[in-house]
Amino acid sequence: MVSLELKRVVVTGLGAITPLGNNVSQYWQNLLQGCSGVGPITLFDASQHNCQIAAEVKGFDPSDYLERKEAKRMDRFAQFAVCASLQAIADAGLEINEFNAERIGAIIGTGIGGLKVLEDQQEVYLTRGSDRVSPFFIPMMIGNMAAGLTAIHTGARGPNSCTVTACAAGANAVGEAFRLIRHGYAEAMICGGTEATITPLCVAGFAAARALSTRNHEPTRASRPFASDRDGFVMGEGAGILVLEELEHAQRRQAHVYAEIVGYGMTCDAYHMTTPIPGGKGATRAMELALKDAGLFPNQVSYINAHGTSTLANDVAETLAVKQALGIHAEKVAISATKSMTGHLLGGSGGIEAIATAMAVATDRIPPTINLEDPDPACDLDYVPQLCRRQQVDVALSNSFGFGGHNVTLAFKKLKG
């Protein structure tokens, strides 16, 4: 039944498969320590590519969570999502059963979906013929399968969907899940983003667009958000999944609460396929809308987890957007770009960055922006360079912006009252 009264929504579970660790504890500790997950590409022979570095997930074995036969019928992006979802549900202590399954759903975003299986099966088709293409090719490739398989493996029969808004997809998934609970369509949602695009064709495509760093000789220093000598983003992979719950539902279970999610802003630049609108107007409105949705003022923001891709245009546009959205308070806000450590997970980035933002609220610790020795003069805010910071974090924003002009901001705060 839809509620006329807006419900409060909290984060009760977290799960992560990332270049910095295959659970939230490893991921968070490595963020705080300023570790880089970037290294030479090992998932394929990149010797003929201009870009030969990426932030790969390391030591991941889906059979730790899934039967081997089941895992083989999933593309890597779906494996990441299902395993991170199982982590998040366990962390939340949420039991999904016949009594509540229809009130628990899943929304998991991805920018590209099953690209690895697409590349592999194209090769099979060209070299061995059409009758040798796998019958699992299509269900392994399509982007909605991360959310669908998560429901299959958890029994969640409530709202189920997939956001496909490029690098904003994971954040959109969290925002839409928040709205479903807030308006009474669900009591709990499994949400976030996933991606596995460190493949020959994808790396070649982004390199052709001159979007990727080619700092192959020093991979751990290649992702350099807001730095004067940044030369593009570093491809990452993985998944970040959150369990969101209606507050009273969580309290009845005596669930641990990381943070309250209080606002969601979504806009479009309507300007260019890949370049943000000059001045960051779309990103500005996303932040403004998230604060308005939350009933918060700009001077209440303690921390922003920046989109911070390490590309020339995006970092400048985001800096301008923060200044416009927060006014004079922008100079007082701590901002960090965790992509400096994780690389850019595309559709998965909004999920792992929402986790980092919720953890900053929960622990009053802010991850650093590494590799920021010489900031771009046009990027002149407090980016928490090099070292993590202990600081009270009452309100935090997480920004995600994607090709096509998609802009998303999520607002989190400490649970009070």
So which residues are the catalytic ones?
Answer: 167, 307, 344
CA distances from 236 to 43, 195, 318, 348 (A): 12, 8, 20, 9
CA distances from 262 to 155, 187, 269, 293 (A): 27, 16, 24, 7
Locate 27 and state its tokens.
């991921």
Amino acid sitting at position 105:
G
Q: For residues 247 and 189, give the distance between their C-alpha atoms in angstroms, rounded to a whole number.
A: 12
List of residues 6+ apart from 324 with CB closer than 8 A: 279, 280, 281, 284
Please check whether residue 147 is in contact with residue 107, taking contact to mean a CB–CB distance below 8 angstroms.
yes
Q: For residues 354 and 360, give the distance between their C-alpha atoms in angstroms, rounded to a whole number.
A: 10
Angle between helices 24-32 and 349-363 (to 10 degrees): 70
SS (H, E, C) 221-255: HCCCCCECCCCCECEECEEEEEEEEEHHHHHHCCC
